[in-house]
Each structure stands twice: as C-alpha cells, then as structure tokens.
Amino acid sequence: MSERKVLNKYYPPDFDPSKIPKLKLPKDRQYVVRLMAPFNMRCKTCGEYIYKGKKFNARKETVQNELYLGLPIFRFYIKCTRCLAEITFKTDPENTDYAMEHGATRNFQAEKLIEEEEKKIQQEREEEELNNPMKVLENRTRDSKLEMEVLENLQELKELNQRQAQVDFEGMLDKYKEMERRQRERELEEDERETKEMLERALVKRLRDSDSEEETEDAKDQSRKHVADNPTDILTTDRSTGPQGSSSVGVKKQKVESWERSVGGLGVKGALGSLVKRKKPADSAYHSGAGAAQPESSKASNRQPVASQNGSSLSLLGAYTDSDDSNSD
C-alpha cells in the first residue's frame, strides 16, 4: 500500500517512452456529466415542464466544425422526466448563454427575442448607411425630429404635473423652518426642565444637611446644659463667652445663684459672719497700766467694729486673726 505514495518511481535502464502505445479516442466521443437545466423548458412530446435548476445525468460532446473565437462549443443530451424523450441544447459563448436545439421549447424568452430583433434592425441600418450617404442624412434628421418630439412631450408632462400638483415651494420651506424652530424650542424647554430638577434636588439635599447640622448643635447645647448638675461645677468648667444671647446669661445667673446659696455672697454679710465670734479684751490689760498697750488695744477695738460694719465675713475673720497676733505679742 505504501508503493502508491512514492514520488520517484523506478524506471528500468532499457525504458523507452516512445514504445508506449498511445490511446486513440474519437473526437466526438461523449462523457457522462452531472448538470442542471440552464433555463425553463417544455417537452414537445408530452408537454412536461422542466424548470431551471433541475438536475440531470447528461451526456456531453464537442460540436464538430463549430468554434467561436477559438472556443469550442459543447452539446448536452438529457431525457424528459416524464416520457424519457431526448432533449438537446448547446452552449452559446457569443451571448454567454445556452441555445435550445431539439426536443423542447424554451419558455419566458420574450426579452431575449426583443433584444435579437433590435440587434437585427441595427445591423440592417448600418449596412444601408455604409453604401448610401443620403440615407445617413435622412436617418440623422429623423433622429433629431424624434428627439425634439420627445423633449416637447416631456416638457408638457412636467407642466401638466405642476398644474395638477400645485406645489407651493415657499410654503414647504416655511413649514420646514417652523418645524425646525419648534424642535429647537422643545429641546431648550427640556434642557431647562432638567436643570431645574437638578437644582431642586441639590437644594433639598442642602436643606437636609443643614437640618441635620442644627439637630446636632441642639443636641450639643442640651448636653452642655445638663452637664452641670452640681452647684459647684461652675468652678471647674469654663464659662462660654460666645454670643449665646439670653440663654447664656440665664445659665450664668443660675450658676451664681447656686454658688451664693451654697457658699454665700462676696462683699455682703452672709452666713459666715454669724459663725465668726469677736474676741473681747481681757480686764487685765486695763489693770496693767501699760501706756503703750492701751492705745494699741483701743485702736484694735476701734478697728473691729468698723470692719464688722463695712467689711464682709472674710474681712472680720482677717481682723480676728490680726487681734490674736497683737495679743500674742
């Protein structure tokens, strides 16, 4: 099996290619090929319609003594699908088509027949003009007259259409401009509405943020008010000097009142004045007869009532301590 795949085959030394017999085949021999019907046709024997694209096992042969520009022409033999009658057609390289030859008629060939008729007329005219110059002049004048008539008829048709249509081009342009203006106004209104909605959303968000900030500030103020539960907390807490208004003044007054209730007012005769007791001078100081001591004791006694009248409880306490120091001396 591997011998059929080799590229270089063995040739014996006495090989002579001229001795190989040549196969002589007839020129009009036929081949069996698979093809499709190139056009619609109808069988002449039974009237069966054979449509374009129908597949057949056909016999193919080369037409003898027929060439077109050196190209060979082939003939095909098929059989009718109903009566098995033989139908033949051949290639037509001049028209790039197929020509019906025997056994059937080609359908839907009106366009091709018209083209062939036009070509025939054109060839006859050229042959006439080739040998007769007067015929050329007559044909040219006839063509010019036909062209003028065609143009006149076309102009008449245009005028008739314009009268019937009654198209106002100015009105059409005005309508188009009006439509464009409305479209622009609609777009501007949509843009303004969108910007307004965006601004409203931003304002609502800002108001919510401000409300939350105010709530936090109120909570802080409430916490600051409730911090000083004891009256003496005013000594350890800092006094707020900011612009609080009447609320801050009221807080200060409450703190001062609580301090005065617990300790007493400064510069006013309070509860500590009753706790301090004056020390009366001893009788021995008058019996000793010391001249220098008498004026001093009298001065101290004179100072004590003045201080008790004008000073506070703390000043009385100071005067009391001064008298003790003088007595001890």
Q: Which residues are annotated as a binding site for Zn(2+)?
A: 43, 46, 80, 83
Q: Which residues are annotated as a binding site?
A: 43, 46, 80, 83
CB-based contact 116:100 (threshold 8 Å): no
Bridge partners, 102 (sequence order): 88
CA nearest neighbour of 279 among 327, 313, 311, 312? 327
